[in-house]
Structure 1
Amino acid sequence: MRLPVMPPVKPMLAKAAARIPPGLHYEAKWDGFRAIVFRDGDEVLIGSRNTKPLDRYFPDVVEAALRLLPPRCVLDGELVIALDGRLDFDRLQDRIHPAASRVRHLAETTPASFVAFDLLALGDESYLARPLTERRAALEAALADAVPPIHVAPATTDPAVARDWFDRFEGAGLDGIVAKDPAGPYLPDERAMVKIKHERTADCVVAGYREHKSGPVVGSLLLGLYDDRGRLQHVGVSAAFTAARRAELVEELAPYRMTDPTGHPWAHWAEAEAHEADRLPGAVTRWSGGRLSDWVPLRPEPVCEVAYDHVQGDRFRHTTRFRRWRTDKDPAECTYEQLAEPTRYDLSDVLGAR
């Protein structure tokens, strides 16, 4: 492979903002795997956000790239999978599987798509130093004849349209809005964009915690919600704390600490076979390299309010943000019913907004 922009390349990143800023270029924020696609003739390489190769997990996208992308190009975008008109991140994670036969089966039954939103190189030319307006125009021209599963992300310079997208597109599983400087170059691994994400709050039971890698302080709180059968389900974690706050949390949670997990609603997590469910606090995941994480069980009594941006299935899609303790709340009040559900919006309509 010989391209004007060669792998590995780390994608340009975004910093968070509370509101949509004026005077910029706006795109929907996709909930998938960030990916940079390199094509040079018959060679295709897909690099992840941390530059690890993804092409072996997405043979359907590799095949589509060979059919539909320009012969020599480098594109920044997102790998996504949609089911019933909505992005499904769980199905995307299923692709990261060691068995090639399993990956091929999933590529046939739940095919992925690539949504392109930036152009890094075309032919013999690098576009990294060019302004976004030029890169965007070249991207749209290069993919003018593209058909699914290759898409160009819809974009606008109208903040009113961006605000409308922010509200409506969430129903299709999108995360929010990304704002970019129209005159800015492409800056790999720099936070040169702005992301505005949805945020809601929920009251959750804190039924355990993981210790931080630095020592016997709180690394992350393990959150639970009661389902309609009265079972406390693990729904996610809250983990962004200062070093001082991590130590304080150990003291605050000490009265609830259980030396023996017997009777805890998640006591079965101590059993090795329970980790096969792949949604337990100490479970081995495909991203953890086979490492088991210990957790400290707590009596499921303390309640905290957390901010979250998105629910995927029956758990929080991302790490939540701790807001405050809710000593006025009974743990039994922490149910799924409090989670807000956005109005459904079909993904095909999002892609048609270009």
Structure 2
Amino acid sequence: MEFPVEVALAQLVPVLPAGPDWWYEIKLDGHRTIMWRTADSVRLQARSGREVTSAWMDIALAGMELPPGVVLDGEAVVVVDGRISFEAAQSRAASGPARARKLSEAHPALYIVWDALAVPSVDLRGRPYTERRQALLDVLGDLPRPTPIQAVSATDDLEVAQAWYDTLQDTGVEGVVAKLGSSAYRAGRSSSWRKIRHAETVDVDVLGYTGPAAHPHALAVRVPDGRVVLSQRLGALLAAQAAAWADASPASGRARTGAGEAYSAVASGLVAEALAGTTRHGVVTIKRFR
């Protein structure tokens, strides 16, 4: 398996699927992170494929306790005042090494793991979810305690999963992910992984921006039906976050939306959440970045 790996994604659905082969996991509000335990170090990968080790050095150091050859998929989360804070995770992910270190001292990160992609000398991606889950529990069970690396809560009981969804939102739980017990780990979006979440948002792929890189005005995004459109004008906070992204991912040229609007194209894999009701009409309101 070569770095970076293309991650598996869940389809957004309105209700949890039911059936004898479905398993359910708590969906936390953090940053998707792949942990690679190499022969002599740990590397962390974002969903986009970008290396993010320096932003999450506290969990990278904890990962040194894993056997070389282990590759895990999960979520880097930050707890503030007893609640999972996406804003704190976002701040950490957007920080340079010095600031990330200061933030980690105030609020150490947790790495909540839901999949084992590899164990020493074995690629598990083609194995069923239930087998990968057991391999994950075995690997994490050997870690010294305490550790910030923890397995996500999972159940095959639909009523338990629904109770998680109904009662845990105030703790920062975003929703629930359902996975077929027989499913392999396949890159991209698959119907064998499904998710429900409280926020009425959809994921959009960010393809570029308008305006100067130091202060983007709007984003060019691909919405779920495949159209490329411009977002509404970004607010100050989102514009600052987009500027940091644009600075780290220089534009590769100019491109146009389906309506002919020009934008600076960037091939970065950045994902944003947009209000679900806006994308149907070609007017996209960005809520936050993933």
Query: Does the pair score TM above 0.5?
Result: yes
Deviation of 1:89 after TM superposition, in Å, equals 1.3
Q: Does residue 274 of structure 2 align to residue 319 of structure 1? A: yes
Deviation of 1:41 after TM superposition, in Å, equals 3.4
Corresponding letter in the other structure for 2:159 = A
Equivalent position of 2:36 in the other structure: 38
Q: How far, CA to CA, are the matches of 1:42 and 1:280 in structure 2?
A: 37
Equivalent position of 1:166 in the other structure: 165
Relative to structure 1, is the Cα distance of residues 89 and 121 closer, same or farther in structure 2, using a 3 angstrom cutoff? same
For 1:174-253, list aligned pairs within 5 A.
Answer: 174-191=173-190, 192-199=192-199
1:191-212 Cα shifts (integer Å, max 9, x gaps) = 34101111469xxxxxxxxxx9
Identity %: 32
Equivalent position of 1:92 in the other structure: 89
| 8 A Cα contact 2:9 2:187, kept in partner | yes
Corresponding letter in the other structure for 1:45 = R
After TM superposition, the score normalised by the length of structure 1 is: 0.59
- Three-state SS of the structure 2 residue aligned to 1:28 is strand
Deviation of 1:141 after TM superposition, in Å, equals 1.2
Equivalent position of 1:10 in the other structure: 6
Deviation of 1:64 after TM superposition, in Å, equals 0.7
Deviation of 1:169 after TM superposition, in Å, equals 1.8
Deviation of 1:174 after TM superposition, in Å, equals 1.3
Return the index of the structure with the highest Cα Rg: 1
Relative to structure 1, is the Cα distance of residues 25 and 282 closer, same or farther in structure 2, using a 3 angstrom cutoff? same
Aligned length: 238
Q: Which structure's residues are more often strand, by fraction?
A: 2
Unaligned runs of 5+ in 2: 202-207, 211-217, 250-271, 280-290
Equivalent position of 2:119 in the other structure: 122
Which range is displaced more, 126-135 or 186-195?
Answer: 186-195
For 1:126-165, list aligned pairs within 5 A.
Answer: 126-146=123-143, 147-165=146-164
Corresponding letter in the other structure for 2:119 = L
Residue in structure 1 matching 2:16, options 12, 20, 23:
20
Q: How far, CA to CA, are the matches of 1:15 and 1:241 in structure 2?
A: 11
C-alpha RMSD of the superposition: 3.6
Unaligned runs of 5+ in 1: 202-211, 215-221, 223-238, 251-265, 270-274, 292-316, 325-354
Deviation of 1:318 after TM superposition, in Å, equals 3.8
Deviation of 1:90 after TM superposition, in Å, equals 1.4
